[in-house]
Structure 1
Amino acid sequence: MVNSIALIGGTHGNETSGIQLIRNWQDFGLPTRFDELNVSLNIANQAAIDANVRFIDEDLNRQFTFERLATPNNAKEALLAQTLNQKFGPKGESNTDFVIDIHNTTSAMGATLIILEADEFHISLARYVKHQMPEANILLEDEKPYLEHAYLCTTGKRGVMIEVGGQPQGVLREDVYLLTEAMAEAVLDFCVAFNNGTLATVQLPECEVFRLGENITFPLDEAGKRTAMIHHALQDKDFEPLLPGMPIFRTFDGHDITWQGESTTYPHFINEAAYFKLDVAFATAQRIVL
């Protein structure tokens, strides 16, 4: 049973769809079909929202490892993480069955559900959401055990992230908002079906899932200065196949750099603004079926 669900927006203060969805449901109520669920509606980082920035001092969504939670740190988000961990967790001994954290990306990823485990629950969730929303993408980040992730959602016994784009930071797009709302409702619909035992009577077909690979960084010179930008042929092609030899970067002196991987990959978070300072150009993924 999923007895307690925390729905969270505003983990990043300039990702507005989740913030607005939480506020709307606070003001107008959840759809009545979710009345049987115990759902709390939460805003994570109000200070960052007020400043319309991703974070004030440090990324809140990278604070939730056991090590960081146990290490004294006066950064605003580190202190906030302590409070949120007690509210939703504590991590590893959580009082919350399921944490659903809502995000936006500037990349053209559409409506993406990020799961951190490929167990029976999350495979069923992925299949259910994909069945409800054929346009949805499922991203599996199981490169490490669930509790080793630094994400806020891991304060729950189970946790997922909803990631919807592309949307510029600090603004609200209706189409992106509606996709966010639809995916949040699909996840809650799954919780209702899971609790009622009706999933066993439904044959959910296997679905396409993208398993996270590695981050690809921009080309840099010896001084650490960027020498290229995302190639126009790759821009906005999130989750589309990238074959060896296809262009990924255009250097500032006008030359193409091609994908040198040995096989086809599926790029995502392409040219994500939040990763600009980290020189991350995109992430790769393997296409699998679960």
Structure 2
Amino acid sequence: MSKSTVINKVLITAGTHGNEMSGVEYVRNLQSNEQILANLIPKQSELNIEFTLVNNLAIKNRCRYVEEDLNRQFTLDKLSKPSGENLEHILALEFNARYGPKTKPSTDLLIDIHNTTSNMGPTLIILETDDFHQQMARYVKSHMPEAVILIEDHIPYQEHAYLCTVGKRGVMIEVGPQPQGVLRPAAYLQTEQMTQILVSFCDLWNKSAVPQTDEVEAFRLTKEVKFPVNAEGRKLAMIHPQLQNKDFSVLNNGEPVFQSFEGKTITWDGDDNVYPHFIGESAYYHLDVAFALATKTVI
């Protein structure tokens, strides 16, 4: 799929998960508050910016999803189905028809806003590392030094099941820690700031005016690590206190990762210099995923 150089249409989405409130409240404010909208759009910008809440029933019910995770419905196979098999699949087909289709997108950049219960800070998730995304990452870090760049390019862009891949380019804002179903001011303000920076970058990109900056630190997803469980699937341990809240801190072989309910420490038996993140993410608990791992790189 070829991608146009110019970013004309930007779509900002939230409520893909209905209990992740930073994006939900921010998009609601963009829809209703002229000053907040004016703060987003650069002066004399020709960007066409839209914003929408995606899973309104999940938002109403303050739940992640109603039947299935909406952010896992956007594979080419699922989008090729003639009808939806559940609410979120139906929403995915409708969204793809309106803003895609994924195979020939009408949206140049899709920014999907999320929250995590993990201590990840303001994280920008990119799915490709071409020149556009490299410059984007550097621009974000230069204006928001506390931001984390997470690369998920372990599979080709179109093979991802994420909603943001309906756009020609798609990124996710992931801000935490924030409990599900509530709003914390730090997470909201970081969400607002990162969104404004991304829109500003697109405006400068179109004008060939992005400042040249040095390479920046980034983290590349490698795999997920699961909780130890017994034959019946019951968890045998929890995140070790020394690992909890240490997202994007280095983990080496022999360091604590789990603590059994009897108090035994279970140490990391794997590669050195890996970086856990999404540590103890509540939305992954039922999947037995304890954390994801990344390696450090530059971009």
- After TM superposition, the score normalised by the length of structure 1 is 0.97
The letter of the residue matching 2:69 is D
Give 1:243 deviation, angstroms.
Answer: 1.4
2:64 to 42, 46, 54: 54
Residue aligned with 2:248, SS:
coil
After TM superposition, give the deviation of residue 41 of structure 1 in Å.
1.1
**Aligned counterpart for 2:155 among listed residues 144, 149, 163:** 144
In 2, the alpha carbon distance for the partners of 1:36 and 1:14 equals 33
**Are 1:257 and 2:266 matched, yes or no?**
yes
Choose from 43, 49, 53 the match for 1:43. Answer: 53
Q: CA deviation at 1:262?
A: 2.3
Find the counterpart in structure 2 of residue 14 from structure 1: 19
Indicate which of 220, 223, 226 corresponds to 2:232. Answer: 223
2:173 aligns to what SS in structure 1?
strand
The residue number in structure 1 matching 2:218 is 209
Q: Higher mean Cα deviation, 256-265 or 133-142? A: 256-265
Q: Could you tell me which of 188, 199, 202 is aligned with 1:188?
A: 199
| CA distance in 2: counterparts of 1:87 and 1:98, whole angstroms | 14
- The residue type paired with residue 249 of structure 1 is F
Question: How many Å apart are 1:153 and its aligned residue?
Answer: 0.3
The answer to whether structure 1 residue 24 and structure 2 residue 29 are counterparts is yes
What are structure 2's unaligned runs of at least 5 residues? 1-5
Query: In structure 1, what is the Cα distance between the partners aligned to 2:84 and 2:268?
Result: 40
Q: In 1, Cα distance between the equivalents of 2:249 and 2:272? A: 14
How many residue pairs align between the two structures? 288
Matches for 1:154-193 after TM superposition, within 5 Å: 154-193=165-204
- The aligned residue for residue 241 of structure 1 is 250
- SS of residue paired to 1:170: coil
Number of the residue aligned with 1:85: 96
Once the two structures are superposed, what CA deviation does each residue of 1:97-139 show, in whole Å capped at 9, x if it has no partner?
0000000000000000000001111011011101110000000
- 1:276 paired with 2:281, answer no
Looking at structure 1, the residues matched to 190 and 290 of structure 2 have their Cα atoms a distance apart, in angstroms, of: 25
2:3 counterpart residue number? none
Give the share of equivalent positions with the same residue, in percent: 51
Q: Which amino acid aligns with 1:69?
A: L
Q: Report if the CA contact (8 A) 2:84-2:93 is conserved.
A: no
Deviates more, 1:206-215 or 1:34-43: 34-43
Q: In structure 1, how many angstroms separate the alpha carbons of the residues matched to 2:208 and 2:181?
A: 40
Structure 1 regions of 5+ residues with no counterpart?
none
Q: CA deviation at 1:86?
A: 0.9
Three-state SS of the structure 1 residue aligned to 2:241 is: coil
Aligned pairs for 1:90-101 within 5 A = 90-101=101-112
Q: What TM-score results when the alignment is normalised by the length of structure 2? A: 0.95
